[in-house]
Structure formats: structure tokens, C-alpha cells
Structure 1
């Protein structure tokens, strides 16, 4: 069934069931369905339809989710705008053929509304309020399979976020959006996401990807109010949350405060966004119980593999998981030759829901998509049991004395030391060696890492070129707007 038909069908099937809790509001599935139809009618009246592009920058609300689905029902290309873009990046994103921009009273800004038709969810000066539209009837899907459904953006670590074009056909084959063909892992997630903590931004593919099992599986998405306390763990206690996604830095903070809140309602915590060491993953599962999942994926490919609580309970903590059904992995050497099981190389992914390409960037698309396979630029191997192991990124390298040094293996060696909880490695220019390795470590509770011992450990495991020039102890890692560790901010501390 063409996306978003399965969602519309699920909303019709249980109209009285709560779909969202937003503060004191309960919004039923029937109300969301009516809202999608009304917003679709308003968007159609504003000239939107198949092939037209709607840029969306809103807070996380039931209305905002309905607006996304209304635009998809019409067959629009939804351009998700993350919060925090500097002006240059915002101009870059808005320059991708946008026909209209949708905001709400909390996000409206002149630099957003200068592109195309200005639309809003609520009263905003200079924008047409879609919520005042009298109605559009039951929503119908007029999308075309090979049109682009969404542009979701990479983090912009190179300075310009790349727009990953995801087609309606791809979303129609997506592991999360088709409940009739859910794998046992997807069905289990849907059950555990009975009360799903929804936060962040709907412009994130990860947020939407894991919201799908909740809503399609009959659960309720809970949008927490800001009460001044950390979201994790206190929103879990306050709202009796059963499932959520979480970044690695947030997981570490949660574990530090786990004893201050009641987490007994929790049944699924999906850890994603950056690698986590096996020791810390096992410790998280021991502390929180059989609720910890680990996901591996990319904006270009969606979620590729998943490690379940059952895997972790069996002692499988080194890999990042097994691929979803329909996802194929190929590990290749520098010449593109396929490597056997157990050999490390660059990971290629093929699935029905990988991106069609980077919007407006044919050269980068040709370099990334190879005969139906997507280059992840991640390094790793697949073991005999089908688990994927990561070893670092091809671009996360430091050139030391003209030798390629990968950050990932150094980070794993450092986190393997009992005195270290977290480790982050980055390179910086160096007059003597061209670039030098710099490491930042967060100590384990009550421990004081010895820099000489850590350097000796890296030398013994990886060789002299991999030994960090500096090893700096930090109380925690700064995070980017996307919630990922910010290595640039760490380097600024040197």
C-alpha cells in the first residue's frame, strides 16, 4: 500500500483511541484523521499537490504531525527543517525548490517565510492559517510512487546539509510503516511503544521512523511539557512512558540519574545516533533491565540493523545488530571487491527504502550510490551469525605522518579500560606530523584515568601512530543540536 495509506487506515480503524497526549490534551485517532483531511484541503487550496515542495519548521505537536501526513497524502515533497540552522545552512535548505513554507506561532521567523507561500498552524502575521480551513473531507492519497516524499538532511558536518531524497515507493517498503509485513522485531517494538515519548523534531527521519510503530501499533505518542527537569529520566516517571529513542550522551546522563526517578514503566529504549562501547551497553542493560535496544542506521538508509534486549541478555554486546528483513549488507575493500565474513572493510547497504540520491547533487549521488548499493562510509564486518560490527568511519580519520589513523578503533580501545566510561577521538593540524590524534575521556565513576597507561594500551593494541598526542579528561561530552557528540567543541578545549 502506498505511503501514507497504512497510517490513514490505522487511524480509521480505532477512531476513539488516543493517538497523542500533548500536555493536558488527548487527541484521538479520529481527530487526527479529521485534521489530516482538513489540512490537506487547505494545502490543496494553497496550490500544493503532487511534486510540489513544502518546507516545514514547527514544534512537535499533533497538528504538526497531521500537517506532515496531509502533505504526504497530497503527494508533496516535504522538506524538514531542523531547528538551529545558521542563516547560510537555512538558505541552502530553502533553496531546494521549495514552493511553500509551513511554520507555527513558536517557529515563525522572517528568514523562514520569505520563500514561497507562507502557511501556518495558528495565527502568524503574513501567513495563511491552515487550521481555519473549514474542512477537506476524508483524506485520500494522491501521491505518485516515484515522486520524492521527503528531503531529510544529514547533520551538515561538512558545512552544507545534504538533502536525502526518499521516494513514496521507498516509504511504502519501509520496515516501520507497513504493519502487515512487520518483522517480529518491529512488531515487538510496536507493543513496547504503547506510551511513546515523542520529542525533538519531526524533521528527523529517526523520530518519524520510530513514531510509526507506536501509532500503527495502537500506541499513544506522549509529547511532554517542559517542567524544568531533564527529559530523561523524569518524563518517563511523570508520564509512565513505556518506550523512547535516546542518544548515547543522553543515555549516560540517564544512568547517572536513574535512581532519582521511577523507571518501572519502561519497556523499550532505542539507543542510536552514535556508537556505544560494549561494556557501557551491557551496564545500561543491567541497570535498566531487558529494555535496551541498539539501532544502527543513516539518514541515507534509515535504520539498517538492530540489537535487541534478547541479544544483549545472551551476551551479544559488541555488534550493532542484525539487519532488518530485506536489508542486504556487503563489506568491500578499497577496490570495491567483496570481503568474506569476518573481514573488515567499508559497509555497503541495499534495501527497498534507501534514498534515491542527494537532491541537486549528482556528483555526490554518483559517489554514494553504486549499482543499487549505498556506500555508508562506515567500516566494519559481518560475523558468521549475521551480526554487523562497526570499526569506525572512512571519513573519521586523522593523517599522522601521512598514515591513515581511524578514530573508531582508538575510541574502542580507550573505552575498554576500566577507568574510562566514554572516549572521543578527533584530529587537529600539527606542525610535526601533519595532523595529530587528540583523545577526550570521561572517567568511570570514582576512577581517575592514567594518561600514560591509556597511551600504552593504545600503543600495544594499535601501534605508535594511533597513540593520542593529548589525552584530556572531561566531565562530559558536549552535544550538537542533533544530540550527537560534538568533537569540534571538544577540540576547542585544547
Structure 2
């Protein structure tokens, strides 16, 4: 496989058809297709020249996540055949959430990074990290950042010939770190072949997407960025998610594509300017990261109905299932995660081998071209997760008779209370059917005798009158009395993990303190 077959070269070929078109916009900065291509190719040439045509390096990128530098550096390194490691954050929702310096140092060591690409805002941190590395580490950046920093803008774009660089399709293209559910960052390696799959839809689409990126480009938003550029479209970068700014951008720039989390969808629904904003350009409003409230989705259908798309997936597996806009009109289907998008999805029993029939709950396992190559520097975890070509997600689910997937939470989150196994997601869904509840998180907490009890924390809509006792009765009626939480706390908001899901671990810790 030559570099001309990589996803970066394919994207550059697409956008070259209209060199004056704006392809990237951030704050007051806009890059045309010609400017974008020149920046990527010149940086790739400088990087390749630095290695003197030898083995492609591992380039760690430490930049403010949702800025042009993050995208330009990834493209340049991948075009030169190098592996890119995102070093800024493990958070898939908040671009401003930084890793600690110690975590960054560990990642540099375990990925065998040889180049640290930075922007001006992170230069001081990068120098300190370089000085703590046991092996030489080259600093690089887009511009003259100092005598000790390789200026990647000095490359010759015209002289760079990517066809002369052989890129193994099985070579790791990008490593993204995620905190997952353990708190210790895990490096998820995706190869060049898989990265190419990410843009396949964009290459075939019939319209140029205008994508507003508010989620960190170091995570799933990066793949959506690639796909949007592959359509010949434009990417608008925001430093984070602010509902008013998002609504303004949709109207002002004719945004056709959004990728957000369910809590962010609720913020849009509750914003006072929603009803007066022109949303006619919006064709794809994808929400992902955690289960959404069926009741709030019913509200969203009235506003975004023709654009709503639910995607269930994991950082390791990529997109697994999808619920399309017409399916959102069905109240029952809004309780599901949709049907398989690509590859195969199975529900496997506790033995880890037997496939379960429709209706039975087990582990969701995936065989897909979007799946990761493995975890960096953790062969044991890789072997447990990838078995016989199947990726074991650790998520619990079941298929119904129509082939739609229902999510029942994480295997590790199952609560053993009242003599039964209680799936937190089932109780959360029951709480969310109450008209006053807009968010819910359910978890287990042990008492002094180590007996586990069901605990819930909920967020109520403005003006709600629901009480903890009333909500317990609601769950008992919707499920069984044994599913009713022993305690329900009401909060103004739920803490979220880095992937946008309710932080059950933090809530459980708070409950134990209480």
C-alpha cells in the first residue's frame, strides 16, 4: 500500500477539485483547500526529510484539541507514513479536559514516541516532557517556535512525493487514549486500513457536508471530520460545546452535520433561542456516547426529526448500530440503539462463546472493519478483548424480534440486590419514563454488612414536583418492587465521564461518603 492510497491522500485529492473553497474554519481563521493541502504536504515533507527517508516516526500531538494545528499535524504525519498519538485528553466530549503531565509522560514512553508536535500554548509543557524522557525526543511545530523546535512549515510541498513512501495498511495510523471505566488511560490503536474505512461514506455521499466540530477531534469527532472533508465539505471548529453558539453557527454557516452527546442534545432542546433559529440546513444530527431518554427524544423528534441519528459504538469497536431518522418516529424504537451498521453483531452468553437468541441479555460482541487493532503496550487486555476475530465490548445488550439492539449497561455495573441481578440501565430507563425526570444514573452501593443496594441519582426538569418516594413507586410499577431504588437523590446535574456518560463511579463514591 502506498501513501497515495491512504485516507489523507484521498481527502486531499477530493478537496483539490475546488482549491479556493474554504475547507476549515476556526474563530477568525479560514483555510482554503489549496492552503490546507500546502500546509499538510509541506509539513509531511519536513517530517520525512528529518527522518532522512528512514523508518517513519511515532509523532505525539500535544495541541489545543479543536484547532487547525491538531488536524494539520495528524494529516501531515499520516501522509508521511508516521503513527500519530493524541496526547491532549482522554475526554471524548470536552476538548478542554487536559491529561496530567505524568499521564502524558507515560503515554510518550509506552508508545515509543520520537517526535512531539506542539503548538505555542503547549511549548513549555513539551520542553519539560522532553527533558524527562529517557530517550531523545524531537520537538516540532507549525512555525518558528524556537531554535530547539523543528519548523514543519519549512518543508517543500511541491517536492514531496508520497508515492515513494510505502505504508503498511496494518501499521497503526492513530492512537487515541480513553479513560474508559477504569480511570487509567488506555491507548486504542487504529491502523491505516481502518482509518480508510472511516471516510468511505464521505467519498460516496451526494452532498458536501458542513460539519460543526464541538467534540474533541482527537476522538470520534476526528473521524467525522475526515468523513466530512472526504465529501468535499467544510469543517467548522468550536473550542467546545455551548448551545447558544451551536445554534448561531447552524443558522449562520448553514451547518448540515452535528455530532453531540445526549446531554448536549437536551441543552439544545432547552435553549430559549431554539424556536427562533433557522435549522433548515441541518441534515444529520448524530447523538452518541450514552443512552438517551426516550421522552426527551420524543421532544427532539418534533424539532430535529428528519435529522436525528443515534449511533451506538465504542472507542474500540467504532460505530456498531444506528437508528435512522424515520425510526425515531416510533416510540418503541426510540428505546433501542438501532440495528447493526457494519459487519456482524452478536450477543454472547456468560461463557464467552455461545450466541444467545433474541430476547436474552449477554455481552455485545462485534466483528467489524472499524474495530481497533489493539491496546498499546497491553497484550493481555488486547487478548481478552479481541478473541477469534470478535471484539468483546463489555457492554450488555439483547436483540428484539425485529433485530433492534437494546443496551443494558456494562457487565461490571450489574447490581446484585434483593436476590436478583439488576441491570442499572433498565432502572434508568424506567425512571426516564417519568414525565419529571430528564436524566438518571443508577448504581449499587454496599451497606456496613456489604449488602448491595440500588441507588439512583436523577435530574428533574424545571418546575417538576416529583419526590423520591413517588419515583420509587414509579419504578416498582414499571418493573418490579425489587427493582425500586433503596435511595434516590435529586441533583441539579449529573457528573459525566470523559465519554459523556453519567459518572456512576463518582456518584457511588459520593453516596458512600454520605
* Both proteins in one fold, TM over 0.5: yes
Q: How does 1:71-470 map to 2 (within 5 A)?
A: 71-83=77-89, 84-96=98-110, 97-108=112-123, 109=125, 110-114=127-131, 115=133, 116-125=137-146, 126-135=148-157, 137-138=159-160, 140=162, 142=165, 143-172=167-196, 174-177=197-200, 179=202, 182=204, 187=205, 191=207, 194-204=209-219, 206-224=220-238, 230-259=244-273, 262-264=277-279, 265-315=281-331, 316-325=333-342, 327-335=343-351, 336-400=353-417, 404-463=421-480, 466-470=483-487
SS state at 1:232 partner:
helix
Q: Does 1:487 align with 2:501?
A: no
In the TM superposition, residue 135 of structure 1 has moved relative to its aligned partner by: 3.9
Which deviates further from its counterpart, 37-46 or 59-68? Answer: 59-68
Q: 1:160-214 CA deviation, whole Å, 9 max, x = no partner?
A: 1111111112223x2434655x5xxxx37xx3x732112343211x111211231
Shift in alpha-carbon separation, 1:468–1:195, aligned structure 2, 3 A: same
SS state at 1:157 partner:
coil
Task: Return 5+ residue gaps in structure 2 as ranges.
Answer: 90-97
**C-alpha distance in structure 2 between counterparts of 1:413 and 1:228, whole Å:** 29
In the TM superposition, residue 483 of structure 1 has moved relative to its aligned partner by: 4.1
Q: 1:364-422 CA deviation, whole Å, 9 max, x = no partner?
A: 11111110000011111223433222111112233447864322111111111222111
SS state at 1:438 partner:
strand
CA RMSD of aligned residues (A): 2.7
Task: Return 5+ residue gaps in structure 1 as ranges.
Answer: none
**C-alpha distance in structure 1 between counterparts of 2:138 and 2:198, whole Å:** 34
In the TM superposition, residue 324 of structure 1 has moved relative to its aligned partner by: 2.1
In the TM superposition, residue 451 of structure 1 has moved relative to its aligned partner by: 1.3
Shift in alpha-carbon separation, 1:178–1:253, aligned structure 2, 3 A: closer
Which deviates further from its counterpart, 110-119 or 298-307? Answer: 110-119
When normalised by structure 1's length, the TM-score is: 0.89
When normalised by structure 2's length, the TM-score is: 0.86
In the TM superposition, residue 352 of structure 1 has moved relative to its aligned partner by: 1.6
**C-alpha distance in structure 1 between counterparts of 2:409 and 2:54, whole Å:** 42
Shift in alpha-carbon separation, 1:458–1:50, aligned structure 2, 3 A: farther
SS state at 2:394 partner:
strand
In the TM superposition, residue 347 of structure 1 has moved relative to its aligned partner by: 0.7
SS state at 1:317 partner:
helix
**C-alpha distance in structure 2 between counterparts of 1:157 and 1:333, whole Å:** 22
Shift in alpha-carbon separation, 1:107–1:323, aligned structure 2, 3 A: farther
Aligned equivalent of 2:60 = 55
**C-alpha distance in structure 2 between counterparts of 1:361 and 1:276, whole Å:** 32
Which deviates further from its counterpart, 260-269 or 350-359? Answer: 260-269
